[in-house]
């Protein structure tokens, strides 16, 4: 029996949240039976980089890995300006330790690097020297790819990383990890939204 936690994805939100980085991910999760809940440091509203105001559904200290299928972290200026967003990276550690996957894009990858979560996992980001500037120890595991999924050791959660220009590849990795689409439909989805291949639409419609 599927529990609500198996169909709930949590999206971290904070001031200067990079709007464009998770639009594909959250929209298509919602269209495929997932509930997307937003998580802030507190329940106080935040303003995205695009000027949108978001009222978080819950505060970070209310979030438990067992209530979630995935934690999504996006870029924001705060990742490179002090430790204000470090609690989200610490939460990501708790998720991975509990066997619940985490997906991080753009500046959130630097936050995970500072937390030591990329030292032993294959990962990517905007560019290798961006992460190297954090002083992390995982440079040898950096992969020059649009998006990377590391399944992790037995009992740990999978970790998805991507750079800021790859929201479609990021979404593809999320859908693959969660089993949102079968392999044929996932390929079609990517070709439609990344390559503008109109022929892929029929595959997605099941024809």
169 phi/psi in degrees, rounded to 5: -65, -35
Of the residues 41, 70, 105, 106, only one is catalytic, namely 106
Please confirm, yes or no, whether 50 is among the known catalytic residues.
no
DSSP-derived secondary structure for 5-61: GGGEEEEE--TT--GGGSHHHHHHHHTTT-EEEEEESSSS-EE-TTS-EE--SEEGG
Q: Which of 97, 104, 195 is nearest to 149 (CA)?
A: 104
Scan for tokens 């934690």, then name that residue.
Answer: 71
Task: Give the integer Cα–Cα distance in Å for 200 and 184.
Answer: 10
Are the CB atoms for 138 and 113 separated by under 8 Å?
A: yes
Catalytic residues: 106
């Amino acid at each position: 029996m599927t529990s609500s936690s198996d169909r709930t994805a949590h999206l971290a939100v904070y001031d200067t949240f990079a709007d464009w980085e998770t639009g594909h991910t959250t929209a298509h999760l919602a269209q495929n039976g997932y509930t997307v809940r937003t998580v802030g440091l507190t329940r106080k509203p935040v303003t995205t980089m695009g000027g949108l105001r978001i009222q978080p559904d819950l505060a970070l200290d209310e979030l438990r890995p067992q209530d979630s299928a995935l934690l999504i972290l996006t870029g924001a200026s705060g990742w490179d300006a002090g430790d204000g967003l470090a609690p989200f990276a610490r939460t990501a550690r708790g998720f991975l330790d509990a066997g619940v996957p985490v997906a991080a894009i753009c500046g959130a990858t630097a936050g995970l690097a500072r937390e030591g979560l990329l030292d032993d996992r294959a990962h990517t980001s905007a560019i290798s020297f961006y992460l190297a500037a954090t002083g992390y120890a995982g440079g040898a595991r950096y992969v020059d790819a649009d998006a990377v999924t590391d399944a992790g050791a037995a009992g740990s959660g999978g970790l998805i990383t991507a750079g800021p220009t790859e929201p479609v590849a990021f979404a593809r990795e999320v859908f693959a990890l969660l089993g949102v689409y079968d392999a044929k439909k996932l390929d079609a989805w990517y070709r439609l939204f990344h390559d503008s291949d109109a022929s892929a639409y029929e595959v997605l419609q099941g024809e």
